[in-house]
């Protein structure tokens, strides 16, 4: 069983009212960012967090606090949503910060 979290875009979820429906369907059907998991493997969605918004001076700390809330429930992988990977100019900075602070978490960001 893999324990996963999803990181979504704050602008998309809050301003555009995205309910992460496509991310959740992909998880259930093992499509897209979740295709690496076999259909017979149980996936435990620990939680969905959104980014800290487009970076400000405190964005680094905010994103790490949000990820920490998932790590307390022992996630194995953190999936960057399609909106993060396709639209976010800061995704690599976020990934670097997360990987540095939480090196054991696998980041999925295709």
pLDDT at 90: 85
Please, which pLDDT band fits residue 68 given cuts at 50, 70 and 90? very high
With tokens 């493997």, the residue in question is 41
Give me the residue spans of the domains in the chain: 2-108
Token pair of 53, please?
Answer: 């918004």
Q: Which fold has domain 2-108?
A: Rossmann fold (3.40.50)
Residues contacting residue 13 through CB under 8 Å, at least 6 positions apart: 19, 20, 50
Dump pLDDT digits (tens) for 8-20: 988 888 878 788 8
pLDDT at 16: 82
- Do residues 97 and 90 lie in contact, with contact meaning Cβ atoms separated by under 8 Å? no
Task: Indicate the average pLDDT of the chain.
Answer: 88
- Least confident range from 46-50, 59-63, 79-83: namely 59-63
Dump pLDDT digits (tens) for 6-59: 999 888 888 787 888 889 999 999 999 999 998 888 999 999 998 877 776 666
Alpha-carbon distances, residue 22 vs 8, 29, 32, 83 (angstroms): 12, 10, 10, 11
**What is the pTM for the complete model shown?**
0.90
């Amino acid at each position: 069983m893999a324990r996963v979290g999803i990181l979504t875009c704050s602008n998309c979820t809050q301003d555009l009212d995205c309910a992460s429906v496509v991310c959740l369907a992909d998880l259930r059907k093992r499509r897209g960012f979740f295709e690496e998991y076999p259909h017979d493997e149980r996936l435990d969605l620990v939680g969905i967090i959104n980014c800290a918004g487009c970076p400000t001076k405190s964005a680094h700390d905010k994103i790490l606090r949000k990820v920490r809330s998932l790590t307390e429930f022992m996630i194995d992988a953190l999936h960057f949503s399609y909106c993060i990977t396709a639209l976010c100019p800061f995704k690599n900075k976020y990934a670097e910060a997360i990987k540095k602070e939480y090196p054991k978490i696998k980041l999925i960001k295709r």
